[in-house]
Chain A
Amino acid sequence: MIALRTIDKPSPEAPAFESADVAAPAPPPTPGYDGTATSEVSRSREHLVAVGKSDEAIPAFESVIGTDERVRILDTDLPPWRMICALRMRGPSGAGAIGTGWFIGPKTVLTAGHCVFSNHFFGGWASSIEVIPGLAGPGADRKLRPYGSVTSGRLSSVDRWIDHEDADFDIGCIHLDEAKGEEVGWFALASLPVEELTGYRINVSGYPADRGAGFEQYHAANRALSVTDRRVFYEVDTYGGQSGAPVWVHPTDTAPPLAVGIHAYGIGGTPANLGIVANSAPRIIPEVLEKLKEWVEQDGGWPSG
């Protein structure tokens, strides 16, 4: 069992939070929520989202693998798309970058570790991150930013990422002051065993740089190609800017989205010994799920009932 320690971005106002070591066996899934905004059903959700398991790959994918299968989401004001956020990171030097995040609680946004802390991109912690739920295009129009945006500099990751930039633990968190998640909703989180996750149809949706310049959300789906102890590898088209996007499954047609990983790497991040061409995400293993619960609790937790 791995003991993960939280490492928070140092704050002049508050001492660094350090959680106790955790060794949890198999925690139950966390609750998902569709949010208080309109309950209209997304047509994109009905027609695009992949459900259940499959033995065969949906035709071709590449980071875009083969034919680009990504489809633009237009109804980003509806669930689950509105839970997914365009991120605008700013480093201490003023350097900018874009990524993707997603709500896991009322005030908690999950993303890749390298979106909050990266020696390569920021020389350490990001200074601040703007979180834009359901962004639908460039401009300040309310239709394009249906839920506005919030900015935060309160960030967390885990020691395995901060100390070693270990790709298996490329996980980061943005803590918000505003409970934006109550409006847009949040994903349920689950730690599925390797044998259960294998073969699942995987969904990934985020804000790539090559299409829409990080202002448009694109979704693609395909099967989980390989599942290792800490990573899930999939034939789902992604691109730079989608780092931190949710990797989720739907056990059944009517089941809510169940997040199982955090998208982080294109095909260059797949170990050669696996012998596959795939994009990948750190899995939400039991130790990670416990850490994510701690982060949500740190922000006030989920509403009871």
Chain B
Amino acid sequence: MAGALVVIVESTVPMPELAIQCDDAGRFAVGLLDGRFPFRAHAPDARSGEATVERPRDPDIRVTIADGA
């Protein structure tokens, strides 16, 4: 979702408490070391969605912000 803010929560390696902003196509990019990284995305209207990436197993992830979430 365009403008959504994405954060990494409780990862297995230290990650700063920065929030990444999705571009107009709803995409974001972040470089990760090996580990488990739960992502949480927050839409401007306060809805949210979660997905977890495990590096190096997963090449990328899609975080879905569902209606009513």
Cβ of A112 and Cβ of B16 under 8 Å apart?
yes
Q: Which residues of A contact B19 (CB under 8 A)?
A: 97-99, 208-209, 214, 240-241
The answer to whether B20 and A97 have CB atoms under 8 Å apart is: yes
Contact of B17 among A118, A120, A263 (CB under 8 A): A263
Residue pair A240, B5 in contact (C-beta under 8 Å): yes
Question: Would you call B32 an interface residue if the criterion is a C-beta within 8 Å of the partner chain's C-beta atoms?
Answer: yes
B23 engages A265 (CB within 8 Å): no
- What number of residue pairs across chains A and B have CB atoms under 8 A from each other? 103
Min CB distance, B40 to chain A, in Å? 8
Interface string of A260-279 (1 = CB under 8 A from B): 00011111110000000001
Taking chain B's interface residues, is the majority helix, strand, or loop, or is none over half, making it mixed?
Answer: loop
Given that A95-B23, A98-B19, A263-B17 are known contacts, is A268 also in contact with B48, CB under 8 Å in the complex?
A: no
Contact A209 B5 (CB under 8 A): yes
Given A121-B30, A213-B44, CB of A97 within 8 Å of CB of B17: no
A114 within 8 A of B: yes
How many residues of B are counted as interface, with CB atoms below 8 angstroms from the partner's CB atoms?
A: 28
Q: Is B65 engaged at the interface, CB distance under 8 Å to the other chain?
A: no
Interface string of B27-69 (1 = CB under 8 A from A): 0111110000000101010101000000000000000000000
**A10: Cβ under 8 A from any B Cβ:** no
Q: Which residue of B lies closest to A119 (CB)?
A: B31
Contact B15 A96 (CB under 8 A): no
Interface residues in A, total, Cβ within 8 A? 37
Residues of B within 8 A of A (CB): 5-21, 23, 28-32, 40, 42, 44, 46, 48
A-B contact sample (15 more), CB < 8 A, given A95-B21, A209-B5: A94-B23, A112-B18, A120-B16, A121-B20, A121-B31, A208-B19, A209-B42, A239-B7, A240-B8, A241-B18, A242-B17, A265-B14, A265-B16, A266-B10, A279-B17
Residue numbers of A with Cβ under 8 A of B are: 63, 93-99, 112, 114-115, 118-121, 123, 167, 170, 208-210, 213-214, 238-243, 263-269, 279
